[in-house]
Amino acid sequence: MTPVQIGQAYDQITHLWLRDDFDRSNGISAHQQALNSVTQGKTALDIGCGCNGRLISLVQSHGFECHGIDVSAEMIRLSRAALPDVSFFHQDVLIWQPPRTYDFISAWDSLWHMSPIQQTQLINNMSHWLNPGGVLIFSFGGLEHPDEHRNAAMGPQLYYATLGITGYLSVLAANKLNLVFLQRPIAPDTHCYLIATKPVS
């Protein structure tokens, strides 16, 4: 799928994140853990920021100035209305040029609609956008080996891919990022995340 197609698909399903029964605790403890690893700086970027603002609000509560980016125009419209003090960008993150570098970068549930090559490119980009000493957190499909598939579980037909756990660790190593924590899958859930830091020197 192209970024435009992904954005249009998500434009149709923003309500899923605004329902009363949406689990707003999703990702919170992981981000709290990552924020506890930040030792300097107060600039943050949320990639695939979505529309309910729960993660950005948490990061803001730690004193960070936040930016958000999403490929869905409707997600960005709702985010701007809810959090007018945050700078939001409706862009394809693979070609976006950020206005600054960051001390904290999150890509929660946003990599997996990209191809393996695109995911590698984005991790490379995030490494470049991260200040020395900065912290990166992202989630991914926690299979041991690379995989691709499509499903329509959320409504529109969407593409999903993973590099496999070893693949993500290899990309971190290639960017000289230090792994702080890896949450491996807990059956039957295959959802994983990792936290990494960029060396100061």
pLDDT at residue 63, as a whole number: 97
Task: Tell me which residue range forms the domain holding 78.
Answer: 3-197
Q: How many CB atoms lie within 10 A of CB 59?
A: 24
Look up residue 168 and give its two tokens. Answer: 């993500």
Chain mean pLDDT for the chain: 93
CA 162 to chain centre: 14
User: Quick one: average pLDDT of 115-143?
Assistant: 97
Q: How many CB atoms lie within 10 A of CB 8?
A: 16
pLDDT at residue 134, as a whole number: 98
69 strand-pairing partners? 47, 89
Give the dihedral sign, CA 146/69/174/168: negative
Closest CA to 114 of 141, 76, 88: 141
Q: Residue 29: which pLDDT band, with cuts at 50, 70 and 90?
A: very high
pLDDT at residue 14, as a whole number: 82
150 strand-pairing partners? 159
Cα dist from 143 to 28, 59, 136, 164, 170, whole Å: 22, 28, 20, 5, 14
Q: How many CB atoms lie within 10 A of CB 22?
A: 13
Alpha-carbon distance 106 to 161, whole Å? Answer: 18
pLDDT at residue 121, as a whole number: 98
pLDDT at residue 26, as a whole number: 87
Alpha-carbon distance 177 to 198, whole Å? Answer: 5
pLDDT at 201 over 90: no
Number of domains composing the chain: 1
| Residue 7 belongs to domain with CATH number | 3.40.50.150
User: Quick one: average pLDDT of 12-29?
Assistant: 84
Alpha-carbon distance 197 to 181, whole Å? Answer: 10
pLDDT at residue 96, as a whole number: 98
Q: What does DSSP assign to residue 7?
A: H
Q: Residue 109: which pLDDT band, with cuts at 50, 70 and 90?
A: very high
pLDDT at residue 154, as a whole number: 81
pLDDT at 3 over 90: no
Q: Residue 19: which pLDDT band, with cuts at 50, 70 and 90?
A: confident
User: Tens digit of pLDDT for each residue in 34-81?
Assistant: 999 999 999 999 999 999 899 999 999 999 999 999 999 999 999 999
Look up residue 72 and give its two tokens. Answer: 């869905």
pLDDT at 189 over 80: no
Per DSSP, the residues of 55-90 read HHHHHHHTT-EEEEEES-HHHHHHHHHH-TTSEEEE
User: Quick one: average pLDDT of 140-147?
Assistant: 91
Alpha-carbon distance 161 to 65, whole Å? Answer: 31
